[in-house]
Amino acid sequence: MEKNGSQSNSNSLDILDDSMTVTQIIKTLFIRRKWFFTIFLCLCSVVTLIAYLKRPIDEPFLKFTTYLFVGSYLGQTVPIEHLPSIEFEIKEIYSKNNSPNFAVETEITGNIITISTIALSEEEEKIRKFHERITLPILERHGKLFSQFEKKLMNGALDLSKVSGLSTSVLALAQKTKYVSPLNKVWLRILSIGLLVSFLLACMGVFVLEYILQLKKVLSEESK
């Protein structure tokens, strides 16, 4: 009888015991699994709602790209003008003077400078004119340089190695493509961290409720 009594005592939950084992903790969570899932699902609903509100919103943005080919001397690959300086002029001077509201991204590939602007689809005509204005100073300046080279060549005052080969030109103006924004991972971080916190809070909630229940039971027994 004593053995059965001690066994029943060991199987009972005692959340008030300071020396609870891992087995007792797992047993408590298993027996009170309904509490756990109720708390966990409520917290998950809140976390999911917050993550949903932080999700990236799809908008009809397009990427408008202009390709500016910078001319070079005949028989040489060196451009007529230093490419980083042209890139700086376009990005920091011409674009800001013409339309500071449109952001410009530039990239150099060989003798080609890529100019990109992200904007709404209804702003296509504005972007086209904007790209025309920011490339026009380069085209005009290089046109004058090539014209001077040709005059000097005709007068015999210019070495053949300095004769202009391919002139500076716009290969494509405001070529539009669908803009795919980088994946916004903020909502994923909120969701993953929120689920972990929800699990921990659900565990804590089970033990808090169990503690209150057993404390209430002890107080009611003492009052009898």
Mean pLDDT by runs of 10 across the 224 residues of the chain is 42 55 77 88 90 73 94 73 93 89 91 93 92 94 79 60 70 89 71 90 87 81 71
pLDDT of residue 2: 42
The SS3 assignment for 102 reads: coil
Q: Report the predicted TM-score, pTM, of the whole model to 2 decimal places.
A: 0.55
Contact 165, 73 (CB under 8 A): yes
Contact 71, 169 (CB under 8 A): yes
Spatial distance between the Cα atoms of 85 and 88, rounded to a whole number of angstroms: 5
What's the first-to-final CA gap in the chain, in angstroms?
27
Query: For 7-49, how does the pLDDT look when each residue is reduced to its tens digit (9 = 90+)?
Result: 434 444 555 555 567 777 788 788 888 888 999 999 999 988 8
pLDDT of residue 213: 84
Secondary structure tally for the chain: helices H, strands E? 7, 4
Q: Which residues contact 185 (CB under 8 A, 6 or more apart)?
A: none
In whole angstroms, what separates CA 128 from the centre of its chain?
27
- What's the Cα-to-Cα distance from 169 to each of 96, 117, 138, 139, rounded to whole Å? 22, 19, 9, 7
Q: Which residue type, as a one-letter code, is found at position 212?
A: I
pLDDT of residue 155: 63
